[in-house]
Each structure stands twice: as C-alpha cells, then as structure tokens.
Homo-oligomer: A and B are copies of this chain.
Amino acid sequence: MQTTDISAAQQAMADESVKRLAMICWSNDLDKVWPTLILATTGAASGLEVDVFFTFWGLRVLQKNNKRFTGKNWMQKGESFVDRGGTDHLKLGKIHFAGMGTWMIRKLAKQYKVASPTELLEMALECGVRLHPCQMTMDLYGLSPEDFIDGLQPTLGAASFIDMAAKADITLFI
C-alpha cells in the first residue's frame, strides 16, 4: 500500500515538474496572433505543455486560407467577408500608413527571417501545441468543422479552458 502511495506521489511530482502554458487567442489581428504563435512554439520547444484556446475573433485564425465565405445566414456570411479567416489574411490591429502597415511588417519580418503566422501555426502543430476551437464562437460564426485546418483538438467551452488554465504555470489573454 505504502509503495503505491509513494509512487503515486512521485507520479504527481513528475506531472508537477512539467510546466504548462495556457493562452487565450482572442484576436485575429496580425500583431496579436504573431506573439501568440511565437510564445506557443517557443514554449513547446522549451518543453512546456501548451494549450491555446481560440475564441471570438481569434477563431478566424484556425480557418483554411482558401475559404472565402463562411457562415449559415447573411449576417455570418457578411462578417466572414469583412473579417476573412486564415493566417494568410491577418491584418494589423493598428491602422496606419494608409494600409501599408500590414504589408510592411510582413516584408520586414521576411527580411529578418521571422516565421510567418502560417509557418508558425504549422510548427505549433508539429511541436504538439494543442489548438482548441471555441464551440460558442463556432456557433456564432456559423462555422463547420470543414472550415478549419487539420490537426485541431475537439471544440471546447469556457469551463474546460478554465480547468486547463488552473493547472497552468503561465496564463495569458492575448
């Protein structure tokens, strides 16, 4: 009996020693998605368990790049037109330079060999980062599973995210 207790305690300690990062990706602004994915991939590369919950505008990040319209009613279709999904179509949250901003930052990033959001999302999946779409947002946007890239976790609600976050060492809302 005692042996079992000790090994259970050791197991618990081993689990404790793995650090965890839980993030909410709330935005689909290029300048917010970039740090989210850099932290996710760097975290995984440093040996952390990483969970990212994609909710509100952030859910758009997980859409396929070649889907032009999504949604089931005209409001959802309209929203999907104005706020196109997929990592190739992310725009800066700050509007300046008459729209040149997004183009310039992407160009500078390429020049300085910073991976693009599309590349980082692929790296995240390869490193074992768990990407969770928010069920409630999927309903609001009228999105279907086929609108998303492959390799995602099952959809989640806020309660499941809170369970994850309560066990995490780093929690960030981005």
Contact = CB atoms under 8 A, between A and B. Distances in A.
Interface of A: 19, 21, 24, 26, 31-32, 34-35, 38-39, 42-43, 45-46, 48, 55-57, 75-76, 78-79, 82-83, 94, 96-97, 101, 104-105, 107-109, 112, 114, 136, 139-140, 157-159, 161-163, 165-166, 168-174
6 contacts: A21-B166, A39-B162, A48-B162, A57-B94, A75-B107, A112-B136
Contacts of A55: 35
Q: Does more than half of chain A's interface fall in helix, strand or loop, or is it mixed?
A: helix
A172 B173 contact: yes
A35 B42 contact: no
A16 B24 CA distance: 25
Contacts of A83: 94, 96
Q: Which 6 A-B pairs have the closest CB atoms?
A: A42-B158, A172-B173, A19-B166, A165-B170, A112-B139, A170-B171
Contact of A104 (B75, B104, B170): B75
Interface centre among A76, A79, A114, A168 (most CB of B within 10 A): A79
B48 A31 contact: no
Given A31-B57, A76-B108, A109-B140, 8 more contacts: A24-B172, A42-B157, A46-B159, A75-B107, A75-B108, A166-B169, A168-B170, A171-B172
A162 B170 contact: yes
Contacts of A46: 159, 162-163
Given A43-B162, A158-B38, A31 B56 contact: yes
